[in-house]
Chain A
């Protein structure tokens, strides 16, 4: 049996979902008997592969770079999983939305900065007007709410998907869990 190809992607989130993923501990070994981790912030691959079976996405869509990345990821992934509240609801990153991106940048890069204040126009990706959950931008196949979803939930989701089943999540996790 050939191994499935697993990727994980980190957009606007705190990396907590990835930490929770690592928290499955020794189950990582069992997992890696079934999948190849072909792309992830946890491995060194720089380019997202052409074909991925399962992609876990942590984080909301906040910048032009996030937008470019998630569209590309969607194109090359068979199953796209919104992992965690930031991906599913935009969560804490969305708290800037009511203020507008201009006010937020002014506050972060000018008002609270003493040394060379100014809004960056290179290297740092430009922020979108609004932070949005993944499914407002590209179609999502599986939603895993939680901040972060527990290690056991992530393990369950992955094993179900690997076995070709659809995970049943409403009894296992929720917004803010």
Chain B
């Protein structure tokens, strides 16, 4: 009997790579400096494959697969850049811009926003789809933080960090499809939440200006994310 190898070899964009069998395509790509765009993914949090920015082509499969949740397989041939992928990624990003009211010029996260910078990186200079202009709520009832639904892209980083790292589970998602929203506790004002510890982790993992600190004006909200991998590591060592 030959021992089962836990190392897989695969091709990404024509180059050979080896990876542990529990690694995802995205992890292998990042280790090897291959850029795959992401929005919902954040190192230190679980992966959900919500934003679909990291879609890649895999030879033999007609479907596009999200690199963040697809594990490597022996002999896999992955393509991370193509005209088709570019078209899909741009469409997804443009739809995110139309879904809520992202007015970059007056946003607290202007110049520090992952949605904005990714749009620039993917060379989006305008949005082809009609904007929806929904009426979205701003909740400033928390003493230190604000949630502006106009800027939310439903990446669920806030939901995950609150549950997985802080252990409070104040945030969750309510509604389906276009009616989906992140909520605090039982869809009540954030300031009245009994579970929120006020730690601010949700604010700092948020990729856009949806969550920010009170008193920040246009382009003033800088997010600090470096704490996350350390906290995750310390938890793992304690366990």
Contacts and interface: CB of A to CB of B under 8 A. Distances in A.
Interface string B8-50: 0000000000000000000000000000000000000000000
A32 B1 CA distance: 82
Contacts of A132: 131
Is the contact region of chain B dominated by helix, strand, or loop, or is it mixed?
A: loop
Contact of B136 (A82, A98, A174, A175): A98
B125 A145 contact: yes
A94 interface: yes
Interface stretch (A71-79, A83-91, A117-125): A83-91
Given A89-B103, A175-B116, 9 more contacts: A91-B103, A94-B101, A94-B131, A97-B133, A140-B126, A144-B125, A147-B105, A176-B105, A176-B116
Contact of B133 (A82, A94, A175, A177): A94
B81 to A, nearest CB: 16
3 closest cross-chain pairs (CB), A and B: A176-B104, A147-B105, A97-B133
B206 to A, nearest CB: 17
A25 interface: no
Interface string B92-132: 00000100011111110011000011011101111100110
Interface residues of B, number: 26
Name the residue in B102, B125, B130, B136 with the highest tally of chain A Cβ atoms < 10 Å from its Cβ: B125
Question: Which among A88, A89, A99 has the highest number of chain B CB atoms within 10 Å?
Answer: A89
B105 A170 contact: no
A175 B104 contact: yes
B110 A169 contact: no
B123 A95 contact: no
A97 B131 CA distance: 10
15 contacts: A85-B105, A88-B126, A89-B126, A98-B135, A98-B136, A136-B130, A145-B125, A170-B125, A174-B104, A174-B120, A175-B104, A175-B105, A175-B120, A176-B104, A176-B111
A130 interface: yes
B103 A95 contact: yes
A175 B122 CA distance: 13
B6 to A, nearest CB: 42
Contacts of B198: none
Nearest to B126: A143
Interface in A144-177: 144-145, 147, 169-171, 174-177
